[in-house]
Structure 1
């Protein structure tokens, strides 16, 4: 049975009803991040705060082509091939080098515990994806947007759209990592999310659309610092510079 994007927030709302949860914090990565945003738009009264990570609300030509290639690889070669394709997209070279002995087990586990038809459903729903950036203005709750520094699957521009269009938001850049940074740096990710919840609960949260850089040290006293310079560029670029 095919499940489209908007059915997922409805399923999640039904789960919260079943658990008697009236309002909650909601976080999601990649496809899950898209569902988080759709849920915040469709059920604003149900969320205390949103944490969308490694996601998008519209696709450019490059992202659409990548999605198409991943789907073709899955259908024509197999799901195991899709998993192998995603490893270097999801993880940094450093993480892969440090975990090279466990990557084959990671690939086998991913191929065994993921439902093939569920993944095909996901890929086909992305293929038919309809942009909803124009609806982000409906999100009023505190929103912390997380983006890996070297995320080539859902890059900076996709998260910049979220920051611009969600009034009560901040953008947090996670250092040295790619799309699946929650696996690469779980300690830092958990600290960033916990700090966000603490700020909202204590009334200290300021959703000013600012950009921050998370620490790369799990033991650091400061969890994040304001970003200096133009955060949309991969090459360091000072705004005061003028060509010529």
Structure 2
């Protein structure tokens, strides 16, 4: 597993495939392997760049974690890999980091795909994620059970009990330092408030969400699409917050079409 010390933190990263670079930014509980349904398809046409952010499973877990740290870590990773500009795909927490990165470094973002993300934290979302952080700190063995109903559509849970159980077993094997670091990631997320900056993010942006998302409901994605000046808005039916896991074929189709369109636009 390649690692590099970037912006003061040791980060795990992976690259797969070849072609124009596409960087994937993890959701809060994800690791690079969580994108395998996407990289298996997109890696046939693109160089897929992935990393665990500071605080995530395979990377360093410092006491200080902010969203701005993630932005600068990602910039340092692109520098390390000699990538001047790339497509950026982020889901949930990663989508929010992607928005911040596009605002800070517009010259480095060819296009942006923001999946299941928000630009601000409403009261219900704040209560849900504060509960996650509290459980992670006080009773980590219950974290998976606490988060699953928020992350997946109820129909998916009913039809994929084996996947749910394997996820539970996987999380149970995580090291002890994962859980307080996860809580610090939640604390960083709760500081998010960038709606007023969205009109300044000019890159082509795909805003995509699951129609049944109860954690970050569709209204958050509509706010993004309405506020970003160059946005395309899509919903995936019968999918919850973890749409990249629940409906990977639909997500991959949307991404391939969007990326191809903006590859062509670059060369016109």
Taking structure 2 as the reference length, what is the TM-score of the superposition?
A: 0.72
The SS at the match of 1:203 is: helix
CA distance in 2, matches of 1:157, 1:55: 10
Select which of 169, 175, 187 maps to 1:124. Answer: 187
User: 2-side partners of 1:4 and 1:25: how far apart?
Assistant: 23
The equivalent position to 1:104 in structure 2, one of 162, 165, 168, is 165
For 1:135-174, list aligned pairs within 5 A: 135-174=197-236
Q: Compute the RMSD of aligned alpha carbons.
A: 1.6
- Partner of 1:171, secondary structure, is strand
1:82 counterpart residue number: 143
- C-alpha distance in 2, partners of 1:28/1:113? 23
**TM-score normalised by the chain length of structure 1:** 0.78
Please say which of residues 66-75 and 33-42 is displaced more in the overlay: 66-75
For 1:1-244, list aligned pairs within 5 A.
Answer: 1-78=63-140, 80-113=141-174, 115-127=178-190, 129-203=191-265
For structure 2, the 5+ residue unaligned runs are 1-62
Moved >6 Å (runs of 4+): none
Structure 1, gaps ≥5 residues long: 205-244
For structure 1, which segment, 162-171 or 85-94, has the greater mean C-alpha deviation from structure 2 after superposition? 85-94
Alpha-carbon distance, 1:73 to partner: 2.1
* In 1: Cα distance, 2:187 partner to 2:172 partner: 18
